[in-house]
């Protein structure tokens, strides 16, 4: 297939490399100023070097069919469009690509946070969306020299919108990534199961002084999640599972969900799997003004709180995290939060409105 990857950061380049390895033709579309030095090198070299630890340390040169900043070229090339920027850029990306989107294309949002409802405001063509709760592969750009793929999820679950397209979606995406063959009930389940909404803000807030003091020597997954911090995650889960059940989804706590994604052998204890993942994870973040707060608080927690209030759930933990993150960075994350009211374009949203929207 022809697949356009929008976003040339860690996630975008990792998934582009795997798609090329699996025999697909890939276009890279650069839409921001970040990582411009490495992108310019990719343009001049015609591709980039990859170290794939998920495939016996295989080293290869990933050579996209198209490397561009021109939205028209990249979007018209594609059967599938993978948006792998932060969710903060969804509005900008939707407006940018809308004039060039073609009937029948599949647009994947990784992560989603119900971003499909933003894209539909701009894109009038008959297209299908898929929202992902996390990436199929993990890794990072190493010193603007090469891309290292360090981890993959044995099971990668996605959702389809409209829901009636889910079999087409899973057929296409399992042909892109072998581990991407599992379906969530709907795009809201993908949003609520996004692990970043939970561990990123909690990990930063409870380690802010350590992050600032260590000056780059902080290993979040190894250091932040002590037994007492794990208790906060479990308390978060209680209300989260009530939300899932309200929309016809099965309850599943954070650590069991992480085990399901991260581990081949589901007989292993969930906390053992989490600690193993922590041992293999990368260093960071090295500062608190990080996307772990800048994105996941307004886009994830803001969305969660707005839906939780409609359901009458206790959102005090989530609201407390949002308030403390706002204080930490001297900003009000409520102002630009992605709420269900914003997504649906109305103030008085009902539970039935949400159910209708996610089908």
- If asked whether residues 165 and 206 sit together in one domain, one would say no
How far is it, in rounded angstroms, from Cα 30 to Cα 6? 6
- If asked whether residues 7 and 135 sit together in one domain, one would say yes
Strand partners, 148: 51, 140
Instruction: Show pLDDT as tens, one digit a residue, over the chain (359 residues).
Output: 999 999 999 999 999 999 999 999 999 999 987 778 899 999 999 999 999 999 999 999 999 999 999 999 999 999 999 999 999 999 999 999 999 999 999 999 999 999 999 999 999 999 999 999 999 999 999 988 999 999 999 999 999 999 999 999 999 999 999 999 999 999 999 999 999 999 999 999 999 999 999 988 999 999 999 999 999 999 999 999 999 999 999 999 999 999 999 999 999 999 999 998 888 787 889 999 999 999 999 999 999 999 999 999 999 999 999 999 999 999 999 999 999 999 999 999 999 999 999 99
Picking from 192, 207, 237, the residue at the C-terminal end of a domain is: 192
Q: Which domain holds residue 266?
A: 196-358
- If asked whether residues 153 and 31 sit together in one domain, one would say yes
- If asked whether residues 103 and 39 sit together in one domain, one would say yes
CATH number of the domain residue 187 falls in: 3.40.50.720
- If asked whether residues 30 and 99 sit together in one domain, one would say yes
- The predicted pLDDT at position 194 comes to 96
CATH number of the domain residue 303 falls in: 1.10.1040.10
- The predicted pLDDT at position 219 comes to 93
For 294, the enclosing helix (H) or strand (E) is: helix 291-294
For 221, the enclosing helix (H) or strand (E) is: helix 220-223
Picking from 142, 157, 192, the residue at the C-terminal end of a domain is: 192
DSSP 163: G
| Spacing of C-alpha 153 from chain mean position | 13
Which alpha helices (DSSP H) does 247-346 contain, by range?
Answer: 254-262, 270-280, 291-294, 302-311, 316-329, 340-344
- The predicted pLDDT at position 283 comes to 83
Question: Can you point out the beta strands (E) in 271-332?
Answer: none
Picking from 192, 217, 249, the residue at the C-terminal end of a domain is: 192
- The predicted pLDDT at position 161 comes to 97
How many domains is the chain built from? 2
Residue among 27, 26, 25 at smallest CA distance from 74:
27
- The predicted pLDDT at position 158 comes to 98
């Amino acid at each position: 297939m022809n697949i356009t990857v929008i976003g040339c950061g860690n996630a975008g380049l990792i998934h582009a490399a795997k798609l090329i390895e699996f025999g697909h033709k890939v276009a890279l579309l650069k839409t921001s100023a970040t990582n411009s030095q490495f992108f310019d090198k990719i343009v001049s070299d015609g591709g980039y070097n990859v170290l794939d630890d998920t495939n016996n340390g295989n080293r290869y040169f990933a050579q996209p069919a198209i490397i561009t900043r021109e939205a028209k070229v990249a979007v018209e090339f594609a059967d599938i469009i993978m948006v792998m920027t932060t969710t903060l850029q969804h509005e900008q990306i939707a407006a940018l690509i809308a004039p060039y989107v073609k009937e029948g294309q599949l647009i994947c949002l990784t992560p989603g946070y119900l971003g499909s409802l933003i894209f539909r405001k701009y894109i009038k063509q008959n297209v299908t969306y898929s929202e992902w709760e996390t990436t199929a592969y993990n890794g990072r750009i190493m010193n603007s020299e090469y891309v290292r793929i360090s981890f993959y999820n044995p099971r990668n679950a996605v959702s389809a919108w409209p829901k009636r397209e889910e079999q087409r979606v899973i057929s296409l995406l399992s042909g892109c990534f072998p581990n991407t063959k599992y379906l969530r009930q709907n795009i809201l389940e993908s949003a609520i199961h996004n692990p970043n909404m939970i561990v990123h803000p909690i990990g930063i807030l409870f380690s802010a002084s350590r992050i600032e003091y260590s000056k780059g020597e902080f290993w979040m997954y190894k250091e932040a999640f002590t037994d007492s911090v794990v208790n906060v995650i479990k308390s978060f889960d209680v209300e989260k599972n009530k939300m899932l059940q309200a929309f016809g989804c099965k309850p599943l706590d954070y650590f069991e969900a992480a085990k399901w994604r991260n581990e081949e052998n589901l007989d292993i204890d969930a906390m053992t799997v989490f600690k193993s993942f922590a041992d293999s994870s990368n260093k960071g973040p090295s500062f608190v003004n990080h996307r772990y707060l800048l994105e996941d608080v307004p886009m994830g927690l803001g969305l969660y709180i707005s839906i939780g209030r409609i359901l009458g759930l206790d959102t005090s933990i989530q609201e407390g995290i949002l308030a403390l993150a706002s204080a930490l960075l001297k900003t009000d994350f409520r102002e630009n939060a992605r709420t269900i009211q914003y997504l649906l374009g109305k103030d008085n949203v009902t539970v039935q409105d949400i159910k209708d929207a996610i089908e």
